[in-house]
């Protein structure tokens, strides 16, 4: 896999974050995060830890699309 370096960013782990949630936010997989960051135990990440993340075109966001009043 070739990664465009323009899509590489750093993410700082916040309280309550999981690799699953971070991967979903950036449109990647837990397996890729583990590989890119040499994480020995995917169940153990620390607040303040810097992760290398290759973004999809843009981070995935959940938006409310109900009617505008």
For residue 18, being part of any structural domain is answered with: yes
The number of distinct structural domains making up the chain is: 1
Q: Domain limits at 33? A: 7-56
Distances (CA, A) of 54 to 7, 30, 31, 64, 67: 5, 12, 12, 26, 34
For residue 67, being part of any structural domain is answered with: no
Q: How far apart are the first and last CA of the chain?
A: 45
For residue 1, being part of any structural domain is answered with: no
Q: What CATH number corresponds to the domain at position 30?
A: 3.10.350.10
Question: What pLDDT is stored for residue 37 in this prediction?
Answer: 97
Q: Is pTM beyond 0.85 here?
A: no
**pLDDT tens profile 45-69:** 999 999 999 876 544 444 444 555 5
For residue 27, being part of any structural domain is answered with: yes
């Amino acid at each position: 896999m070739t990664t465009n370096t323009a899509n590489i960013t750093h993410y700082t782990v916040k309280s309550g974050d999981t690799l699953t949630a971070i991967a979903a936010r950036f449109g990647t997989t837990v397996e890729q995060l583990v590989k890119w960051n040499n994480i020995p135990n995917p169940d153990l990440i620390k607040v303040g830890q810097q992760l290398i993340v290759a973004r999809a075109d843009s981070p995935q966001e959940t938006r409310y699309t109900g009617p505008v009043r």
